[in-house]
Amino acid sequence: MDARRQRPRSGQRWWLHGLLLLLTALTTTIVGSRLAANFDANRPAFVIDEDLSFFLAIWDTPELLLAGLPFSLTLLTILLAHELGHFWACRFHRIDASLPYFLPAPTLIGTFGAFIQIRAPIFSRRELFDVGVAGPLAGFAFLLPALGVGLAYSKTVPGIAEQGDIVFGSPLLLWLAAKLVFPGVASADLYLHPVARAAWVGLLATALNLLPIGQLDGGHILYAFFGKQHRRLSQIFAVALAAIGAIFGWLGWILWAGFFLWTGLRHPPIVDESPVGAGRVRVATVALLILALSFTPVPVRGSVYL
């Protein structure tokens, strides 16, 4: 452990991190501009045929991109906070890690997310727990005010949430917050502002990362508490995830569960098996609560998935 801490840190490829961030800002802003146009016109969030023609129009009228910045900047801030949570936890424990790599992509949210590369082994359960939990906690801390601001700018349009090519599910936190901001309004009548939609994406990413499976953030937390039982427990939770997908009729969770089981659920071993301590147990309880608030059995319905 001392040798690892004394080893010089690997150099950061600043140009690559910056380029990927800029490209992801562009792709998410393009998506955000269409979300904003649909929101202003009281059209469903995604109508694929019409959206494609709008994206082509951006080439002729690039100022349309300005309307996409609220969605883009909100989403990038949440993703960046999540990854920097991991990064600074690594720095605290003197573990070599890269800056975040963003992944631009032509998806319905404009990105495949972001990740950091941990370039040194993690030797203790406490370090593993801190690195694993720091990302979701940091992302959630930025997600909460974004959700509040987004709901404040949202509006009611009869039946709008059930229209369009994509119908979004409602995580428990969003459902509770909507009841406070829009008391008595049916969920189907609530039209989320693009800022709130970015917070929704953050909730989905948080729930996925906190699943106690494999080498997800939740899998790291699981290993920090249960050590060698991690693999068996991961298998159980992956099967449970597939069962949720089957019960609620959402193929996405079944595919994710199959991916986890197919790629293997092994975890790098930990040398220091010292218990994580009572304080981290309380933090783990908070992480479990965040998972419950962020998870939805059917994130999206329609002809196209995220």
The sign of the CA dihedral 247, 249, 253, 254 is positive
Mean pLDDT of 7-28: 85
CA distances from 78 to 3, 101, 150, 176 (A): 34, 14, 13, 20
Residue 33 tokens, joined: 């501009």
Per-residue model confidence (pLDDT) at position 272: 81
Binned at pLDDT 50, 70 and 90, residue 4 comes out as low
Quick one: how far is CA 301 from the chain centroid?
A: 18
Per-residue model confidence (pLDDT) at position 60: 80
176-235 pLDDT, tens per residue?
999 999 999 999 999 999 999 999 999 999 999 999 999 999 999 999 999 889 999 999
pTM of the model: 0.93
Per-residue model confidence (pLDDT) at position 9: 58
Among left, alpha and beta (phi > 0; psi -120 to 50; other), residue 214 is: left
Q: Which of 149-163, 216-230, 267-281, 282-296 has the lowest mean pLDDT?
A: 267-281
51-73 pLDDT, tens per residue?
777 777 888 888 889 999 999 99
Per-residue model confidence (pLDDT) at position 288: 98
* Residue indicated by tokens 């939609």: 197
Per-residue model confidence (pLDDT) at position 263: 83
Mean pLDDT of 242-256: 95
Mean pLDDT of 69-89: 98
Mean pLDDT value across the chain? 91
**Percent of the chain beyond pLDDT 90?**
78
| CB proximity list for 166: less than 8 A, separation 6 or greater | 44, 45, 46, 108, 300, 301, 302, 303, 304
18-44 pLDDT, tens per residue?
999 999 999 999 999 999 999 999 999
* Residue indicated by tokens 């998806």: 107
125-147 pLDDT, tens per residue?
999 999 999 999 999 999 999 99
Among left, alpha and beta (phi > 0; psi -120 to 50; other), residue 42 is: left
pLDDT score of 306 more than 50: no
Mean pLDDT of 151-164: 94
Residue 143 tokens, joined: 């997600």
CA distances from 1 to 8, 40, 94, 265 (A): 14, 56, 10, 25
Per-residue model confidence (pLDDT) at position 66: 96
